[in-house]
Amino acid sequence: MSLKRAVITGVGHYLPDYVLTNKELESYVDTDDEWIRSRTGISERRILKEPGKATSYMAEKASLEALEDAGADASDVDCIICATVTPDYLFPATAALVQKRIGANNAFAFDLSAACSGFLYALSTGSTMIESGRAKKVLVVGADMMSSILDFTDRTTCILFGDGGGAVLLEASDEYGIVDYVHNTEGDEACMLYQPAGGSIKPASEETVKNKEHFIRQDGRSVFKKATEGMADVSLEIMERNNLKAEDVAWLVPHQANERIIDATARRMGLSREKVMVNISHYGNTTAATIPLCLYDWKDQLKKGDNLILSAFGGGLTWGAIYLKWGK
Ligand code: ACO
């Protein structure tokens, strides 16, 4: 029996309508459009403002679009993995809410928490289910409503993030799909980027709310340094161990945290800018959603057999890269 690969057969996305511009942020915090654009590459981001709608809503929309793109029926999905750090609830899983709403009645569903690397970790987890033959269709979702954990009085964080969701359907293929992955975690730096309260170590209290401990905290400069090194290191590692030269790589699909991190990664891989998917200018950092949102935006330019390197870095600390052959 030949080993199967997990190939992406459908891609979907969801972006909220509301566009939060750098200009509008100037009215909340002491910042300016020029600073944000030159330091991060971000001009605007989307914010989910509709009452009663949250991460599961974006995940649901993206999932339905991915299934439609693949021509697949929700009832045939075996598993749903939702990467997110902004679940609707701590429990039940956002993936369970999606399972019900899209009518994936035969799927089991769970969330995966790996911050900005979440989509890559979820994709490799889903791929092993397909490769083993245990699942035929796995829906991998990355969705985050970052605005729900942002302090819009903190200029060092609120300018960076946005809301959005993306999803892909994985199915078996003899030829195309996920070839290899490298994943890393450095737990001793967990508090370099985190949400201090709301979990079991510090349940919500009057004090945690007063101290703004339900919002993102980060040491931006250290994260920047680690991310620049980490994303380039794993991207090179996966190229080397699969004997890929720069000319063999059709696209780098990088996590969109900061355009300078993306540029540094591409430079170390020897890739020209035309081979790099960059949409951070319009969406900011949507955490688990950045990579599927790139795949969605570029899907009409992708060709069967294209070698893609997906690469990400985020809280945990977590980072990783995936090498896949596009097969759609
Ligand atoms: N507007 C204007 N000035 C600002 C702003 C702002 N929004 N934010 C910070 N500054 C000021 C600082 O206070 C500092 O002033 P000082 O020199 O008087 O102290 C100055 O600008 C320079 O600050 P730095 O932190 O050194 O600026 P840097 O060039 O490192 O950019 C940034 C900051 C954009 C946060 C960068 O460090 C970064 O992108 N880090 C990565 C963080 C990240 O992406 N986290 C997301 C999750 S992890 C991931 O996805 C990889």
Q: What CATH number is associated with residue 206? A: 3.40.47.10
| 205-217 pLDDT, tens digit each | 999 999 999 999 9
Contact 26, 113 (CB under 8 A): no
- Answer yes or no: pTM beyond 0.85: yes
Nearest CA to ligand 1 atom 9: 156
Q: Which atom of ligand 1 is nearest to the CA of 231?
A: 51
Contact 142, 118 (CB under 8 A): yes
- Burial of residue 189, with CB atoms counted within 10 A of its CB: 0-12 exposed, 13-18 middle, 19 or more buried: middle
Domain co-membership, 52 together with 88: yes
Active site residue 211: no
Give the tokens for residue 147: 């605005």
| 111-159 pLDDT, tens digit each | 999 999 999 999 999 999 999 999 999 999 999 999 999 999 999 999 9
Domain co-membership, 199 together with 81: no
C-alpha 302 – ligand 1 centre gap (Å): 34
Report how many domains make up the chain. 2
Domain co-membership, 84 together with 122: yes
Count of alpha carbons within 13 angstroms of residue 109, beta-carbon side: 29
Tell how far CA 246 is from the center of its chain.
24
The confidence band for 52, taking pLDDT boundaries of 50, 70 and 90, is very high
In eight-state DSSP terms, residue 133 is: T
Active site residue 79: no
Given this model, what pLDDT does residue 10 score?
98
| 77-114 pLDDT, tens digit each | 999 999 999 999 999 999 999 999 999 999 999 999 99
Give the residues surrounding ligand 1 with Cβ less than 6 Å away: 31, 35-36, 39-40, 116, 155-156, 159-160, 193, 218, 220-221, 223-224, 227, 255, 257-258, 285, 313-314
Given this model, what pLDDT does residue 3 score?
77
Nearest CA to ligand 1 atom 1: 31
* 23, 216, 223: residue to mutate for ligand 1 pocket, most atoms within 8 A of CB: 223
Active site residue 116: yes
Given this model, what pLDDT does residue 265 score?
97
C-alpha 61 – ligand 1 centre gap (Å): 33
Domain co-membership, 34 together with 137: yes
Given this model, what pLDDT does residue 130 score?
98
- Mean pLDDT, residues 249-264 taken together: 98
- Of the chain, the percentage scoring pLDDT greater than 70 comes to 99
Q: Which atom of ligand 1 is nearest to the CA of 40?
A: 34
| Torsion angle of the four alpha carbons 274, 167, 233, 128, in this order, in degrees rounded to the nearest 10 | -130
Dist. CA 139–CA 42, nearest whole Å = 29
Given this model, what pLDDT does residue 240 score?
97
- Across the chain, mean pLDDT equals 97
Domain co-membership, 27 together with 126: yes
C-alpha 123 – ligand 1 centre gap (Å): 30
The confidence band for 274, taking pLDDT boundaries of 50, 70 and 90, is very high
Closest CA to 111 of 145, 87, 139: 87
For CA atoms 145, 146, 147, 151, the dihedral sign is: positive
At 310, phi and psi to the nearest 5? -100, 135
C-alpha 288 – ligand 1 centre gap (Å): 21
The residue from 13, 255, 258, 294 that is catalytic is: 255
Dist. CA 297–CA 277, nearest whole Å = 9
Residue 165 clears pLDDT 60, i.e. is over it: yes
The residue from 116, 158, 258, 294 that is catalytic is: 116
Domain co-membership, 12 together with 27: yes
C-alpha 227 – ligand 1 centre gap (Å): 13
Nearest CA to ligand 1 atom 2: 31
Within 8 A by CB and 6+ apart from 141, the residues are: 59, 62, 63, 80, 81, 82, 83, 84, 95, 98, 122, 165, 166, 167, 292
Residue 184 clears pLDDT 60, i.e. is over it: yes
Domain co-membership, 162 together with 303: no
Domain co-membership, 165 together with 189: no
Q: Give Dmax over CA atoms of the chain in angstroms.
A: 62
Residue 186 clears pLDDT 60, i.e. is over it: yes
Last residue of a domain, one of 175, 190, 214: 175
* 23, 28, 39: residue to mutate for ligand 1 pocket, most atoms within 8 A of CB: 39
Residue 223 clears pLDDT 70, i.e. is over it: yes
Domain co-membership, 84 together with 200: no
- Mean pLDDT, residues 51-55 taken together: 97
Last residue of a domain, one of 157, 175, 193: 175
Domain co-membership, 40 together with 118: yes
Last residue of a domain, one of 125, 142, 175: 175
- Of the chain, the percentage scoring pLDDT greater than 90 comes to 98
- Mean pLDDT, residues 217-234 taken together: 96
What is the per-residue DSSP string for 198-261? SSTTS---HHHHHTTTTS-EE-HHHHHHHHHHHHHHHHHHHHHHTT--GGG--EEEE--S-HHH
Beta bridge partners of 14: 165
- Mean pLDDT, residues 41-51 taken together: 97
6 membership: H or E segment, kind and range = strand 5-14
**Domain span including residue 269:** 180-325
Domain co-membership, 70 together with 171: yes
At 98, phi and psi to the nearest 5? -65, -45
Domain co-membership, 191 together with 167: no
* 224, 228, 290: residue to mutate for ligand 1 pocket, most atoms within 8 A of CB: 224
Given this model, what pLDDT does residue 2 score?
63
